[in-house]
Amino acid sequence: MEHPDSPHGGGHAAPQARPSFVRRWLKRLCWLAVLAIVLPILQVLVLRFVDPPFSSFMAIRQIEAWTGGERDFHLYYQWRDLDRIAPSLPVSVIAAEDQNFARHRGFDLDAIEKARAHNARGGRMRGASTISQQTAKNLFLWSGRSWFRKGLEAYYTLLIETLWPKTRVLEVYVNVAEFGDGIYGAQAAAKRHFGKDAARLGANESARLAATLPSPRRYSASRPGPYVQRRAQWIQRNARQIGGEAYLESLR
């Protein structure tokens, strides 16, 4: 008679079953979810203190040039701290793109509602992206209208508004915004369009640069057509109405 504890007996415990295929994949998905939440937080936190060497939009444009055989394409980008950029440029960008920049927390709900009502009437589509949203998109994402990309943009925008002061948001934006094909940021724009340093930009030059947004490959600041000239005049009026250079002090 075999002892119950005998290795040959029927009473010994069965080997522990390995985790099932489903359990293994659920665990992996959980880790991916955690990574998807934590990685953007780390990215945004690091870039509060470290100036980005490039943006997602710059990388995508460079890859397009390589794959498209654009051998003469050059990417122009040189970081400039906000205090080394003429104040007229960030003020012009705010006047043109996001006049509620100092008050909102990443999303301008009034502008969104006005844009929705305008677009419902038909005609030329109007957007309502804030500078914070555009910073998130330019720095981390890609162009497009999918809900997935919009969701990522919203998440990065919330992180930027939570982890960065307003002055950092503005500083990064004016350094990564596109001001012409392959021309990114205030310093490259000032050099390529006007042959001068970003610190020496005049009010009209700054307004013309801001007037090309968000279609800098369609419009030129250095060779402005009627649209850019009219919009630049409108931007200068708005810049004065919001307080001009004194507006920047309210962000500190």
Q: What is residue 123's predicted lDDT score, i.e. its pLDDT? A: 56
Greater model confidence, 175 or 37 = 175
Distance CA 123, CA 243 (A): 32
Lowest mean pLDDT among 98-102, 125-129, 137-141: 125-129
Q: What domains lie within the chain, and their CATH numbers? A: 22-249 (1.10.3810.10)
- 1 band by pLDDT with thresholds 50, 70 and 90: very low
Give residue 240's pLDDT: 95
Give the Cα separation of 149 and 194 in Å (integer).
35
Region 84-113: mean pLDDT is 90
Instruction: Choose the weakest-confidence range: 113-117, 205-209, 237-241.
Output: 113-117
68 has pLDDT over 60: yes
Which of the pair, 122 or 4, is modelled with greater confidence? 122
Q: With 90 as the cut, is the pLDDT of residue 223 above it?
A: yes
Residue 28 pLDDT > 50? yes
pLDDT digits (tens, 9 = 90+) for 232-251: 999 999 999 999 989 998 88
pTM: 0.85
pLDDT band at 26 (very low <50, low <70, confident <90, very high): confident
Confidence class for position 42, pLDDT limits 50, 70, 90: very high
Q: 3 or 198: whose pLDDT is higher?
A: 198
